[in-house]
Amino acid sequence: MFRFAVVFMFLSLLARPVVAGEFYGNKMLEILGEDKNGSMVKQFKTEYLLDKSLKNPALGIKLGAAYDSISTINSITLTSAGYEINDIKYKQFSAQLPFDMSFNDDAGSLESKLGPGKGAEDDVRLKYKKDGITINVYFRNSSKKKIIYIKFTQNIGATGPYRMGGSHDVMLVSAEVVPAPVVPVKKESVPAVKSTTPAPPAYVKPTAMGARSSQDPFYNSIMNVIESGEEEMFKDIKKEAKAKANFWNYKYTYSTSVSIPGEKYNMLYSFPFQTSQLDFVSVLEETDGPNPVIEAKYKDIEAKLKQYFKESEGWSYHYTVNTEDPKGIKDFELKNSKIGSIVLDHSINPYGKHVLYLRFLLQYT
């Protein structure tokens, strides 16, 4: 009987994947922003036995990636037992969670570990921000007692690989490396013996990016829309259903808590059905025919977008000829491999009505 129990235990251990390596706890987060095909992600994939889709349901883990010229890891999802993603049932992730979290945590214990969370009373999600990471915790129901999965992403706007030891008070792309100050000393005062003390690290000086993120209303409102769309499918800016006459004749429209300086109005809409995914549009100008005000507003918003979303900070610019007005202003798209696209779009309907608007094509990971 004893021999049977030992054999059974041994076979049980063989049947269950065993993970032994360095990527657990906070160290897991350091693959965020890493090249999907790079050495660190390859090591992570080997450690967690991930398949080509960057998942291992038996270990309760799934990675998300942003696809562009370089594919980077942009999310880590860890599940509790029985949760399904795309009709695939996942087991519970059993290694150490980041920030000493546990699947047994409720809203109170999470707050003690992560600080105050954000979420509606009838919602099944709480969102936290800690050390440059956004943590979305999803519960089985609105009582927020049983966690079903946790999703970790870098804060919106941050690019490049995440490092726990880094400074996350400002966006990572806005950091300018400045050499540590050198204090001149007299030659005779320098000892002849070489010092083994390492040189002081370079000082990281925040540039205007960090300052404008909290001060400029235009930039702030754009980033609010992006963050709300990517992390919460616009739930936190959605207000009451409100019929709004609009260029596209969208039927299911909603007011929002966001206001973008220079716009006429904005709205969330579901198309073609009320249950369809929400999308956001900001209408900048509408005219009943050709009007110089459209081009003037286009140039104004184009300049602001280029000022606040720079090519040096990971954005690329693309212009597309508008088939409705080939000789007129071109549609202007700003793309970022981590975030998605912001499009300054000009359209004309069959009745000659013109509209200039901002739309967002986000990663929705």
Q: Are 258 and 268 in contact (CB under 8 A)?
A: no
Between 205 and 220, the higher pLDDT residue:
220
What is the amino acid identity at position 257? S
The pLDDT of residue 212 is 43
What is the amino acid identity at position 106? D
Going through 140-277 in order, the beta strands assigned E by DSSP cover 147-154, 175-178, 203-206, 238-241, 252-256, 265-270
The pLDDT of residue 154 is 85
The enclosing H or E element of 357 equals strand 354-362
The pLDDT of residue 339 is 78
Classify residue 170 as exposed, middle or buried by CB count within 10 Å of its CB (0-12, 13-18, 19+).
buried
The pLDDT of 242-261, averaged and rounded, is: 92
Phi, psi of 129 (to 5 degrees): -125, 125
Report the alpha-carbon distance of residue 240 to residue 237 in Å, rounded.
10
Listed in sequence order, the DSSP H helices in 199-328 are: 208-215, 217-232, 292-308
Span of 7-21, 137-151, 264-278, 311-325 with lowest mean pLDDT: 7-21
Q: How confident is the model at residue 204 (pLDDT cuts 50, 70, 90)?
A: very low
The pLDDT of 196-211, averaged and rounded, is: 38
Report the alpha-carbon distance of residue 4 to residue 131 in Å, rounded.
49
Listed in sequence order, the DSSP H helices in 19-132 are: 39-48, 107-114
Name residues whose C-beta falls within 8 Å of residue 106's C-beta, 6 or more positions apart in sequence: 144, 145
- pLDDT value at 11 more than 70: no
- Among 298, 299, 304, smallest CA distance to 285 is for 298
Bridge partner residues of 134 (DSSP): 129, 153
Report the alpha-carbon distance of residue 300 to residue 305 in Å, rounded.
9
Model confidence pLDDT, tens digit, residues 83-134:
888 889 999 999 999 999 999 999 999 999 999 988 766 678 888 989 989 8
The pLDDT of 4-21, averaged and rounded, is: 48
Report the alpha-carbon distance of residue 351 to residue 90 in Å, rounded.
52
- Among 246, 242, 245, smallest CA distance to 256 is for 242
Name residues whose C-beta falls within 8 Å of residue 81's C-beta, 6 or more positions apart in sequence: 60, 90, 91, 92
Pull the structure tokens for residue 79. 């599940």
The pLDDT of residue 168 is 54
Alpha carbons within 13 A on the beta-carbon side of 45: 18
What percent of the chain shows pLDDT beyond 70?
76
Q: How far is CA 270 from CA 250, 254, 263, 347, in A?
A: 8, 9, 21, 20
Report the alpha-carbon distance of residue 265 to residue 259 in Å, rounded.
8
- pLDDT value at 248 more than 50: yes
Pull the structure tokens for residue 144. 């927020």
Report the alpha-carbon distance of residue 309 to residue 119 in Å, rounded.
29
pTM beyond 0.85: the answer is: no
DSSP state of 30: G
Phi, psi of 192 (to 5 degrees): -70, -25
